[in-house]
Chains A and B, each alone.
Chain A
């Protein structure tokens, strides 16, 4: 299963766009990239996922590079409630398991 690498922490000013990078250089052709976030003492919350094309929903946008070796999650207008640990996960093909990395702790600053 492909591993992911994310910066351990980031800050973002409230109202600004938060851009969270993720490297997944060993991803294989049919593996999806998923993004979740976890607010303290809660279960992870699904944000978005994609395979090759860029994706957008009401929460965020996902930009995947053409070679699929990296992706960026974009929160267009960060709020204080977006402070959380953000996990980028490549979903395994065999059993659809998620293997969580260490994630990025995003702090939105007033």
Chain B
């Protein structure tokens, strides 16, 4: 159980394009979803916390107008990288958590590798 699906797994696009990444919890309702970014050989960096039906909370230094997050349902959150540039190339990973208790694990998707040319 507790499967999180992320789509697409890989995307290559031209500079200036906006890219949407979907994160779905397949077998549970996720009240909270999280978005991370990971550069090569580095650890995961939390970008934002997304609660269903409310605005996302962004970590310090993450531009909310650049990385648009929508969490319209209990099973779907989307991250849109607007006007992407080569420096936005990275591995983007989402996770979902059932409930708000700190005793609930986060379940991670398999990530989206974004390459901007």
Query: A interface vs B, CB < 8 Å?
Result: 30-32, 34, 36, 38, 41-46, 49, 51, 87, 91-93, 95-103
Contact B107 A46 (CB under 8 A): yes
Q: Quick one: given A43-B111, A102-B43, are A97 and B105 in contact (CB under 8 Å)?
A: no
Measured CB to CB, the nearest residue on chain B to A42 is B110
Query: What are 15 A-to-B residue pairs whose CB atoms are below 8 Å?
Result: A36-B108, A38-B44, A41-B113, A43-B93, A43-B109, A43-B111, A45-B108, A49-B105, A87-B43, A91-B102, A96-B106, A97-B46, A98-B44, A100-B43, A101-B43
> For chains A and B in complex, what number of residue pairs have CB atoms within 8 angstroms?
65
Instruction: Please measure, in the bound complex, the distance between the C-alpha atom of A46 and the C-alpha atom of B34, giving whole angstroms.
Output: 15
Interface of chain B, main secondary structure: strand
**Does B78 count as interface, using CB distance less than 8 angstroms?**
no
Instruction: Please measure, in the bound complex, the distance between the C-alpha atom of A1 and the C-alpha atom of B44, giving whole angstroms.
Output: 16
Contact B93 A96 (CB under 8 A): no
Contact B93 A98 (CB under 8 A): no
**Does B100 count as interface, using CB distance less than 8 angstroms?**
yes
Q: Which residue of the partner chain, among A36, A43, A91, contacts B110 with CB atoms under 8 Å?
A: A43
Q: Which residues of chain B from 31 to 50 have any CB-CB distance to chain A below 8 Å in the complex? A: 32, 34, 36, 43-46, 49
Chain B residues near A101: list those with CB within 8 A. Answer: 43
Q: Which residues of chain B from 73 to 117 have any CB-CB distance to chain A below 8 Å in the complex? A: 91, 93, 95, 97, 100-111, 113
